[in-house]
Structure formats: C-alpha cells, structure tokens
Amino acid sequence: MAVSNGVSADEAVMEVNETEVQDAPALRIYEVGYHIAPETKEEDLEKVVATIRSIVEQAGGSFIAEGAPSMTKLAYPMFVREGEKTTEYDRGYFGWLKFEAPVAVARSLEESLKRDKNLFRFIVFQTVREDTRAKYKAPQLREVKRTDVIKQAPRRVEETSAPVSEEDLEKAIQDITAE
C-alpha cells in the first residue's frame, strides 16, 4: 500500500511542477538516526525498528536505505532524565533509516520517537536520495619502509638443506674469495 501511495504521490509532485496545484503532498527525503538503549535485548531490536518503520509507512512513506542497529560506544556519556531518575548511557545500538515521505511526517515522527522509551537519542533531518556514505579510507599514520630487515645468511641455508656437491662448494668458495 505504501508503495502505491508513493507512486501516486510522485505523480502528484510532477503535477505540482507543471500546473502548480496546491493540494498535492510534497515528498521529501529524510533520514532518521537513533540510539536504542543498551539494556534492550538483541532479539527485541527488530521490534523497536519495526515501530519506527510503521510510523513512516502509515504516513505513506517509502524506504530508500537502512542501517541495522549495532552496538556503538559513545564519544561522551549521555544523561537522560525520566522524572526523578537520571540514566547515564555510554553505549547504545545505533541504527538509521532513509525514507521518502510527505513533509508532515518529519514532525509526527519526531513526536512519536520522543515518546519511545527504548530510544535515548534520535535525529531526523532532510537529505538527498543518493547514497551519501563516502568510500573513504583514513590514511595510515605513516607507512614505514623497513631497512633493517635481517637477511638469512645463505651459508646457513645450505647447511640445513640437502648435502652439497663438491663442485658447488668449490664454486661458492671461489665466489666468496673473489669479492
């Protein structure tokens, strides 16, 4: 149902551009990032994500990309107050969702996420359809070329290997003395 809605809305947008009709809902690309509380069980993560998805789907949104929640260490401790109680978080399951939806969704999604007790932080913002993840690899601090590599003495290798013929030995001695 969501897909068919999305398609019809897409056509509606085209109409807006052509004839400037006011009543068609404009679709925009949004991304939502969230932290699920670390005490949540691994098997319940899917349920929490499903509730977020259902909010978007009910409002006629369609999904573009998704990042599954994974345990992430926070760069600083976060404190969340719930009445009298304050909870400190130093880690959380971080996941994200990218979707296309009418403008009103952004606000209603924020409202309902605020009420979600499983999430201790989230962000909703407008973005672009293209994949924004950069394929960038941070450079290593320094690539040191080792110059002090110890080369195995060839003499030893010969000793450990199969018996050497007299001729080879003589040749080797001559090579050494010639230098």
Partner 1 sequence: MSNNILTQNDIQHVDYKDVDLLKQFINPHGRIMARGKSGLTAKQQRAVEAAIKRARFMGLLPFIQK
Residues forming contacts to partner 1 in the complex (CB under 8 A) are 33, 35, 67, 72, 74-76, 78, 92, 94, 96, 121, 123, 125, 128, 130-134, 136-138
For residue 74, the minimal CB distance to partner 1 (Å) is 4
Of the pair 128, 149, the CB lying nearest partner 1 is at: 128
Q: Are 85 and 74 in contact (CB under 8 A)?
A: no
Of the pair 9, 106, the CB lying nearest partner 1 is at: 106
For residue 71, the minimal CB distance to partner 1 (Å) is 13
For residue 90, the minimal CB distance to partner 1 (Å) is 9
- Report the candidate in 53, 134, 59 with the shortest Cα–Cα distance to residue 96: 53
Of the pair 16, 121, the CB lying nearest partner 1 is at: 121
For residue 67, the minimal CB distance to partner 1 (Å) is 7
Alpha helices per DSSP H over 116-165? 154-160
- In 37-169, the DSSP E strands lie at 62-82, 85-102, 119-126
For residue 82, the minimal CB distance to partner 1 (Å) is 18
Tokens of 154: 């060839």
Between CA 28 and CA 74, with CA 54 as vertex, the angle to 5 degrees is 80
Of the pair 35, 118, the CB lying nearest partner 1 is at: 35
Between the CA of residue 14 and those of 11, 59, 66, 83, 106, what are the distances in Å?
Answer: 5, 20, 27, 48, 22
Of the pair 53, 121, the CB lying nearest partner 1 is at: 121
